[in-house]
Amino acid sequence: MASLAIKTLAADGYTDPIRVRGSKLVDVSISANTASTINIQRSADGTNWHTIESYASANAERVLQSGAFGYFRVGGTWVSGSPVLRIEAGNAY
């Protein structure tokens, strides 16, 4: 798993998951000037995903603390356009 995922999605879907080791900041950038619902999801094991935030047809910048969760991804559904999604893990301190 990478610590950075950038994807322009032309159809419903998600970025590749990133694996976060230790307590890190997770930076999410959503450029979605489309009719869309974009979700930030996390997982303890990389298979069971839980949506923690959703954005409807909006651009967003979000910084999260990883805590005990080891995997993050961003994506969702839309009816038009191609949102650009970026997720990256960095140092918390």
pLDDT of residue 62: 87
Handedness of CA 43, 66, 30, 34 (dihedral sign): positive
User: What does the pLDDT read at residue 50?
Assistant: 93
C-alpha radius of gyration, the chain, whole number: 12
Domain spanning 4-91, CATH class? mainly beta
73 band by pLDDT with thresholds 50, 70 and 90? very high
Closest C-alpha among 89, 45, 93, 82 to residue 64: 89
Instruction: Label residue 91 by pLDDT band (50, 70, 90).
Output: low
Mean pLDDT rounded to a whole number for the chain: 81
